[in-house]
Amino acid sequence: MSKLDELIAELCPDGVEYRKLKDVTEMQRGTSLTKKNATEGIYPVISGGTEPAFYCDSYNRENETITVAGSGAGAGYVQYWNEPIFVCDAFSIKGKEDNLTKYIYYCLSNMQDKIFATKTGGGIPHVYISSIENFVIPIPPMPVQQEIVRILDNFTELTAELTAELTARRKQYEYYRDLLLTFGDEVEWKTLGEIGKLIRGSGLLKSDFVEEGFPCIHYGQIHTYYGTSANETISFVSVDKSKKLKKAKKGDVLIAGVSENVEDVCKPLAWLGGDICISGDMFAFRHNQNTKYITYLLQTTDFSRYKEKFAHGAKVTRLRQDKLLAYKIPVPPLEEQERIVAILDRFDALCNDLTSGLPAEIEARQKQYEYYRDKLLSFKEGTA
């Protein structure tokens, strides 16, 4: 019998009381603050996203704090902090009556989908204190809470260590990728326009997807699903629809034409399969070089700097076709391109392949953590 089992058998054998969140926590709205009116500092400003909106020189919460994002795409997102923060477009939650804040956090993270489901509002979704204050959570005795927190902390610490290692390996990969793709006057340099042409996609919508049919890729899927290369699609359109759409061929580099940020605009994908339909707001770059070599070049720090210089847009970011085609790249012999690609493929698989390496282990650990979190927080309901 585990320590937790022993504690439950001793302290709450007949179940535990389920209580409303508002009765066992302090819930407090944030304070409005804009980057324009703030002084830059070291304290995270927690707003509507999943990351700090910016950093300022003051804080309005300290020690252990749970935050729930108040609005935007991340509305309802639950986070735990154990440092001074400034809660802005969000609200904070702290345990009271000797209930552990970290235990409350694990209860809420176990209810994340339910919290997301409370979003209201048309254009900009919101989650309010009133949306979740009547949610009920199990309140076991303090020693049981402490043991649950200890167990779940061990899971999250291991995942954090694996994630940190993956981040380090990705930085290492980026360094060697840039190094391998750095050339001087020993090779010929050409613009993309000199080695190929852009074929713009046509009116393919996600609503056109069908279960079976002609393979297709929507530009948004390059951002969210595909990695460096692919030879199969996850989506299809009807054969009749496909006849009206522009197509990419094997060996094309598919390029997402727009993004919400400059980092992801012109994100490339080496297409190694057969003919497919492509959507508007993306391009097929048809060329006479190694497809993966071109794709890796469009992932480099140098190309990121080029995009920062020339990309534009308010709501969405674009890089004009003429600017994209004007980008200069080194063009070594095809044999050298293949050698470089073989090296980078090995690095890429280690860092990004979800069927092997660290990402798969992190995903497995996360699923294991979520499974045990659900089990540990499932109590028979009692009256005390």
pLDDT in tens, the chain (384 residues): 588 888 988 899 889 999 999 999 999 999 999 888 899 999 999 988 888 989 999 999 999 999 999 988 789 999 999 999 999 999 999 999 889 999 999 999 999 999 999 998 767 889 999 999 999 999 999 999 999 999 999 888 888 888 888 888 888 888 989 999 999 999 999 999 999 999 999 888 889 999 999 999 999 899 888 989 999 999 999 999 999 999 999 999 999 998 877 888 899 999 999 999 999 899 999 999 999 999 999 999 999 999 989 988 867 888 999 999 999 999 999 999 999 999 999 888 777 665 567 778 888 888 888 888 888 888 888 865
340 CB contacts (<8 Å, ≥6 apart)?
180, 181, 293, 296, 332
Q: Based on the domain organization, do 52 and 84 belong to the same domain?
A: yes
Task: Please identify, among 287, 315, 331, the residue that sits at the C-terminal boundary of a domain.
Answer: 331
The pLDDT value recorded for residue 227 is 87
Report DSSP state, residue 248: E
Give the residues across from 331 on adjacent strands.
188
Output the domain CATH number for residue 294.
3.90.220.20
Domain count along the chain: 3
Q: Based on the domain organization, do 9 and 81 belong to the same domain?
A: no
CA R_g for the chain: 25
Any domain includes 177? no
Q: Based on the domain organization, do 342 and 285 belong to the same domain?
A: no
Residue of 150, 282, 307, 285 whose CA lies nearest to 217? 282
Any domain includes 182? no
User: Cβ atoms within 10 A of the Cβ of 92, count?
Assistant: 22
Q: Based on the domain organization, do 293 and 255 belong to the same domain?
A: yes
Which domain does 208 fall in, by range? 188-331
Any domain includes 173? no
Task: Please identify, among 331, 351, 366, the residue that sits at the C-terminal boundary of a domain.
Answer: 331
pTM across the whole model: 0.64
Three-state DSSP string of 198-213: EEECECCCHHHCECCC
Residue 214 exposed, middle or buried by CB count within 10 Å (0-12, 13-18, 19+): buried
Q: Based on the domain organization, do 197 and 267 belong to the same domain?
A: yes
Q: Based on the domain organization, do 79 and 1 belong to the same domain?
A: no
Q: Based on the domain organization, do 123 and 150 belong to the same domain?
A: no
CA 57 → CA 29, 39, 41, distances in Å?
Answer: 20, 6, 4
Q: Based on the domain organization, do 232 and 380 belong to the same domain?
A: no
- Residues 7 and 32: their CA atoms lie apart, in Å, by 44
Q: Based on the domain organization, do 317 and 369 belong to the same domain?
A: no
Q: Based on the domain organization, do 263 and 120 belong to the same domain?
A: no
Q: Based on the domain organization, do 9 and 157 belong to the same domain?
A: yes
Q: Based on the domain organization, do 70 and 146 belong to the same domain?
A: no
- Residues 230 and 219: their CA atoms lie apart, in Å, by 14
